[in-house]
A and B are shown apart, each in its own frame.
Chain A
């Protein structure tokens, strides 16, 4: 029983099973997917729910991810609540259709089980897949653990379907590290989830509306720009929609999900920024360093798109040094994506902190407390001396 009075149940579940459970409880109209490690078990579990008649979803097993996302676009345009999931190269194969889903304002939701893009070929976790699509027009949220993989997908649906937003949303969780790791997950009752997401009311539905209309026609220099401007406006409405969806979710779950989460950061000299599972490891390290009397803190970034610029500036503005961890390389750029965003967010802070970047964990390279302590140690050196030796470092590379 959650503190909210909703009768919940705690079960040991791997991230993929937790996400599959969310799908089952939502019982979407259409799911179109193609299997890829480490997403496979998620779709396998969901396919089992379909086979067992626990959901009445139309499950379309396509011949590729390009087709999977295309089928999602068709289904969503027709007026169906649509979900899918993928990883890495499958995600890359969806690429052109990701933009189309967003520009057609179709609130498809997708789990991205983060995995390194080839090559060299690798099945393990980094954020090179989803980070590459940060400008595709989708909302993006990173889950720290199986619990968040479950919770955030439900919140994403409600925010995506908000008629002021009408944008697709992806929820990321780290391949293997979360997808295949069993932890205790608190599951809401089916009825509570059904009531939370509510019956699907599409803003426009090709097959349901009485008035026929066209989806995806040519749009040249006459109107393309206006439609993109509207898409941007949808994105601008997303933070409020996410906050509203999260607030309603807190009422039934007791769990509060903002765009970011600060941990012992208010009086910290050095604050680490991390996404996904590493935020959990960083929280452990913060506790260790605090025991040693060091003013360390963490800012976990949950929502990457839309980027919570003002909140980030507010959360980090008092630090002396900010250490941004990125599980992705941005080739040829000055630092990786989170670093660039965070550094930009701090530009107008009166006494802005020094910001350094660590690229870590590529291709699943194990990143434990020792490595994060190294990054913190450099952060404290920068905070004390006021001198950055190297803006972008690499953690745990030989």
Chain B
């Protein structure tokens, strides 16, 4: 039997770095020794169109090659998707939803159709604007997911950013790492 596979589905809009987040999170897990898959659903590539990214993590080889339709975790990069896109469709019972929003997690439970204990919120847009100077919510959402998931560690994420962007600009790496750390600290659920 194959090892258990953890499945993460990312929702956002074209231009927000959904695909990049799905890939970077997979790469970070790889740094920690996990087997990984990172991919996305390629649509008409319009900026602003709703899109999905996917990450699979496991302790063993992953041979599945299909979209993630029953995710363990859903990450929503754009709060305007709520109520417009069925982001929690197929979410496993007890599965977690991490949303980029200034609102409180409990307020979102009804819209998402899940229990409030399943919802986690972080204002990734605000963090992104304040730390990186532009609205790029994908990096802070990675930080929030690290906290909520507890399976991938921050140093693995930092190492991934260092590897990917270190040669280009240390400033970019530092800003991302700072945004990730802040979202890691600020993400909140109802249980805590």
Is A174 in the interface zone, CB < 8 Å from B?
Answer: yes
Q: Is the CB of A176 within 8 A of B64?
A: no
Look across to chain B and name the residue whose beta carbon is closest to the beta carbon of A124: B42
B39 CB, nearest partner CB in chain A, Å? 4
**A184 with B30: in contact, given A278-B65, A280-B63, A283-B63 (CB under 8 Å)?**
yes
Q: Is the CB of B38 within 8 A of A12?
A: yes
Is B80 in the interface zone, CB < 8 Å from A?
Answer: no
Is A183 in the interface zone, CB < 8 Å from B?
Answer: yes
Contact partner, B36, options A144, A178, A183, A291, Cβ 8 Å: A183
Q: Is the CB of A182 within 8 A of B69?
A: no
**A12 with B65: in contact, given A180-B40, A284-B2 (CB under 8 Å)?**
no
Q: Is the CB of B42 within 8 A of A284?
A: no
**Would you give the 0/1 interface string for B40-67, flagging 1 where the beta carbon is closer than 8 Å to chain A?**
1010000000000000000000111111
A86 CB, nearest partner CB in chain B, Å? 18
**Would you give the 0/1 interface string for A340-375, flagging 1 where the beta carbon is closer than 8 Å to chain B?**
000000000000000000000000001111000000
Q: How far is the CA of A145 from the CA of B35 in the complex (A)?
A: 13
Is B88 in the interface zone, CB < 8 Å from A?
Answer: no
Q: How far is the CA of A144 from the CA of B63 in the complex (A)?
A: 9
**A280 with B64: in contact, given A182-B39, A368-B69 (CB under 8 Å)?**
yes
Q: How far is the CA of A145 from the CA of B36 in the complex (A)?
A: 12
**A181 with B42: in contact, given A366-B66, A369-B64 (CB under 8 Å)?**
no
**Would you give the 0/1 interface string for A243-256, flagging 1 where the beta carbon is closer than 8 Å to chain B?**
00000000000000
- Tell me which residues from 282 to 333 in chain A have a Cβ below 8 Å from any Cβ of chain B: 283-284, 287, 290-291
Contact partner, B27, options A123, A182, A277, A280, Cβ 8 Å: A182
Q: Is the CB of B36 within 8 A of A12?
A: yes
**A287 with B1: in contact, given A12-B27, A182-B23, A277-B65 (CB under 8 Å)?**
yes
Q: How far is the CA of A257 from the CA of B69 in the complex (A)?
A: 32
- Tell me which residues from 60 to 109 in chain B have a Cβ below 8 Å from any Cβ of chain A: 62-67, 69
